[in-house]
Amino acid sequence: MIKIFDNIRIIVVCVAFYFGYSIGFRHGFDPIAQLHFMIPVIIEAVAGISGLEGLLFADQTAAAKGFESGSNYQRQSAIALLSYAVVAVFVYFIDWGLKAELTILFVFMFFFTFSAVNHAADAIKNKNYKWQNINRPFLTLFLIAGLIYPVVMALKTL
């Protein structure tokens, strides 16, 4: 089940990039329209699924990553992930605009960047080479790389 969640996250993010870039380049370049679509979809796919996975399948999730299970930290991390997902959906449907969308994206990316560093450190220090552990740094780098251009271009409009 955990592998299915991992694959769903990756597929949905890839779909978000495909459609996001399609929307963004439909009539010239519109980074705001691109990010308006991509931000909630990416955050729901990554943070939402990860949060639910961490709460509902805590032991299996921890085992897949090579981490201990059952800690309050694990539950707290899952709740934090769900909070990003809930806020991203709220900002989208209330239509608070680019600044609010970028704010939740930056908070989400801040968490995931330092999470990626944590996973990389665990792989190096503890030789934890489980796929669920070592993929985080690489997938986070791909996510950052794909978001840099539209985010920079959107910030230029402010």
Quickly list DSSP for 71-109: -HHHHHHHHHHHHHHHHHHHHHHHT--HHHHHHHHHHHH
Burial class (CB in 10 A: 0-12, 13-18, 19+), 47: buried
Q: What is the pLDDT of residue 71?
A: 76
Instruction: Find out whether 53 and 5 touch, Cβ atoms under 8 Å.
Output: yes
CA distance 130 to 128: 6
Q: What is the pLDDT of residue 15?
A: 98
Q: What is the pLDDT of residue 131?
A: 77
| Whether pLDDT at 107 is above 90 | yes
Q: How confident is the model at residue 134 (pLDDT cuts 50, 70, 90)?
A: confident
CA distance 64 to 144: 24
- Burial letters 66-86, b for 16+ CB under 10 A, else e: bbeeeeeebeebbeebbebbb
Domain that holds residue 151: 2-155
Instruction: Indicate the DSSP class of residue 30.
Output: -
Q: What is the pLDDT of residue 65?
A: 66
Q: What is the mean pLDDT of the chain?
A: 92
Residue type, 70: G
State the average pLDDT over residues 69-98. Answer: 92
Closest CA to 105 of 137, 139, 151, 141: 151
| Whether pLDDT at 57 is above 70 | yes
Number of structural domains (the chain) is: 1
Percent of the chain predicted with pLDDT > 70? 96
